[in-house]
A and B are shown apart, each in its own frame.
Chain A
Amino acid sequence: MRILLIEDDTGLGFAVRDHIAAEGHVPDLAPSLSYARDLTATMAYDLILLDLGLPDGRGLDFLKALRAKGSVTPVMILTAHDRITERIEGLNAGADDYIVKPFDLAELSARIAAVARRYTGNPNPLITLGRLEIDLASHAIHSPDGRIDLSQREWVIFEVLLQRPGQIVSKSQIEDQLYSFDAEVESNTIEVYISRLRKKLGKEVVQTIRGLGYRLGMP
């Protein structure tokens, strides 16, 4: 998932960013609201992790403005404000979840996965795709022949396709999910990962729609 992390504390921001990246997501770290606004204006995010106390404004105002514009991007608040009334205010402003600092990174991962599942319309982390049993929470794939392990980037591409069953996903959309804002994109990387996915999961799992992109198939 492409995730925007809005956090002004660099110590926390870097650690969360690295953790999210290690989980296979693509994070962009914005240390201020103005930077976050620029990013959201140019990039579609699957999730926003939002701190409330930022140097150039309140996170809640950013969230309200986002919702006022009609954005349905899931937003998870990460904040030091621990009062239940502040939590209610945050959820009422349109947040999907509310985590109070300090938090366990593993819990953050679980919450991110839960929010992502809610937005894809399937809160169940277990998916069956043909002969494959997929656990979205633990990133585990089982076939009748046994467990199949994917690399981080292979999983990201597979998850992008899983989240859009029946839809064509363009190469640039996959690149957006795979690389952070300032990363160098190599020319044929996507093709290489698609090829590896087919090798591990079966040729039918990813269909190539010539000139348009890729689509999830039924292995």
Chain B
Amino acid sequence: MRLMQSLRGQLAVGVSAILVLLWLGAVLGSAYVVRREIDESFDAALQETGDRILPLAVVELIAAGDGIAAQRILPITQHDEKITYDVRDASGKVLLYSHDADPTVFDHIKGEGFFTTADHRVFSRSAVSGQYTIQVAEPLTHRQTALRETILAMLVPLGVLLPLSLFGVALWVSLGLRPLSHLSVALRLKGADDLTPLALDGLRTELVPIEQAANRLMARLKRALDAERSFAANAAHELRTPIAATLAQTQRLVAESPEGPLRQRAVTVEAELKRLARLAEKLMQLARAEGGAMLGTEHADLVPILHMVLTDFARSSPGRVKAEVPTIPVPSRLDSDAFAVLARNLIENALVHGSQSSVTVMLTAEGVFSVTNDCAPIPAEVLTTLTMRFERAGARSSGSGLGLAIAAGIARGLGQDLSLRSPVAKDRGFQVTLALT
């Protein structure tokens, strides 16, 4: 069944089946013709035999005169007689017969010409105004054997040639479909977020429209994604300044207000504004992450980006983030900005939801990035929900609930899955791992 699901298999089997059927049809047609020719030839031989023997027999019988007993003609050398005959007078009395002739074969033949009995073909001819009649018989098995052997002679080469033909068909189909295979492999190897156009050399005329259509589709998708990303980026940019202005003005209000309810209200507004700013930021990051297109046009080194992110955390959460970063470049196709967002969200998540002990950030030379924090073990059923939006894994809810969703979106854009593990060691801890290369 799998063979028939493949275009190559379907073509090879189909062409081979048609070839076999045509060949068998040709053999059957040939067999029919051969049979007719064999009948004609054998009939001609029967007739020729009768026509040649009858004059000789008549001369012999007339010379012998009336009243002679039936005479058996002995062969010069002993052999199995294929064609037998007898010569009878007008009353049906047997006058002569060949050495293996069976009179019962001829008993029921009346008249001249060809006759077919249950097991013989008989030719009958009369001479001297019906005074003498010769009947020549040949067993039908003789003809059948000749026909069988002829057909067998045609089929035996077919048995050898057919597998060779099938192999040739399969090979030719495979060679012919190679450009299609190249196109198929090129499309399959493209990641879900790789929207660069296909550029295949030597594509057959029939496949060029497919390549062009795929490239048009990818270009259209890229434009749509770019527009979406651009909107998210512009929206984030345009929102930041008014939020910054409102927050700064509120902070000045807090600083300049006298102690009392007004100041307290201003402090509340400031806290809400900070929450709004964080949420807007995370929503924009989520929109970008889910918009896909996380792959850069070329490989970028992740190490300096991670150092920059770690510097920020060293300032905002001094002493809480420990990092192991290789001293050699770690190239990745993941967009540098996307990696920064990913790293920031995973570290923030670990700082917010982990215990007060340090968070371990690790990037290996092979491009495996992991963030580990200490915490109570997280049940497996909760782990599976953590990458959903607004999921906070428990009672502590100071985070936005979007960090892991953003990280998962970026991972999907890279064609990978976030690996979440808990506990990590000694029945405690939570670890997020992602291969970035």
Q: Is B360 an interface residue (CB 8 A)?
A: no
Residues of B within 8 A of A87 (CB): 308
Partner of A80, one of B237, B274, B336: B237
A88 and B308 in contact (CB under 8 A), knowing A82-B236, A82-B240, A101-B241? yes
In the complex the two chains form, what is the Cα distance from A12 to B340 in whole Å? 27
Q: Is B305 an interface residue (CB 8 A)?
A: yes
In the complex the two chains form, what is the Cα distance from A174 to B236 in whole Å? 41
Partner of A15, one of B252, B274, B305, B337: B252
Q: Is A16 an interface residue (CB 8 A)?
A: yes
**Which of A18, A22, A82, A102: most chain B Cβ within 10 A?**
A102
Partner of A102, one of B233, B243, B309, B339: B243
Q: Is B246 an interface residue (CB 8 A)?
A: yes
Q: Which of B375-397 contact A (CB under 8 A)?
A: none
How many chain B residues touch A (CB < 8 A): the figure is 29
In the complex the two chains form, what is the Cα distance from A18 to B245 in whole Å? 12
- Verify A84–B340 contact, CB threshold 8 A: yes
The 0/1 profile, CB within 8 Å of B marked 1, for residues 1-25 of chain A is 0000000010110111011001000
Q: Is A191 an interface residue (CB 8 A)?
A: no
**A55 CB, nearest partner CB in chain B, Å:** 13
Q: Is A85 an interface residue (CB 8 A)?
A: yes
Q: Is B244 an interface residue (CB 8 A)?
A: yes
Q: Which of A44-77 contact B (CB under 8 A)?
A: 53
- Verify A85–B241 contact, CB threshold 8 A: no
In the complex the two chains form, what is the Cα distance from A11 to B277 in whole Å? 16
Majority-rule SS of B interface residues? helix
In the complex the two chains form, what is the Cα distance from A88 to B336 in whole Å? 11
- Verify A104–B241 contact, CB threshold 8 A: no
- Verify B252–A12 contact, CB threshold 8 A: no
Q: Is B219 an interface residue (CB 8 A)?
A: no
**B347 CB, nearest partner CB in chain A, Å:** 14
Q: Which of B292-306 contact A (CB under 8 A)?
A: 304-305
In the complex the two chains form, what is the Cα distance from A46 to B401 in whole Å? 42
A105 and B337 in contact (CB under 8 A), knowing A80-B241, A82-B240? no
In the complex the two chains form, what is the Cα distance from A85 to B336 in whole Å? 7
Partner of A81, one of B237, B255, B339: B237
- Verify B245–A80 contact, CB threshold 8 A: no
**A215 CB, nearest partner CB in chain B, Å:** 34
Residues of A within 8 A of B336 (CB): 84-85
**B60 CB, nearest partner CB in chain A, Å:** 121
Residues of B within 8 A of A102 (CB): 240, 243-244, 247-248, 273-274, 277
Residues of B within 8 A of A81 (CB): 237
Q: Is B242 an interface residue (CB 8 A)?
A: yes
Residues of A within 8 A of B251 (CB): 15, 19, 104-106
For B337, the closest partner residue in chain A by CB is: A83
For A15, the closest partner residue in chain B by CB is: B248
In the complex the two chains form, what is the Cα distance from A106 to B247 in whole Å? 12
**B139 CB, nearest partner CB in chain A, Å:** 98
**B409 CB, nearest partner CB in chain A, Å:** 17
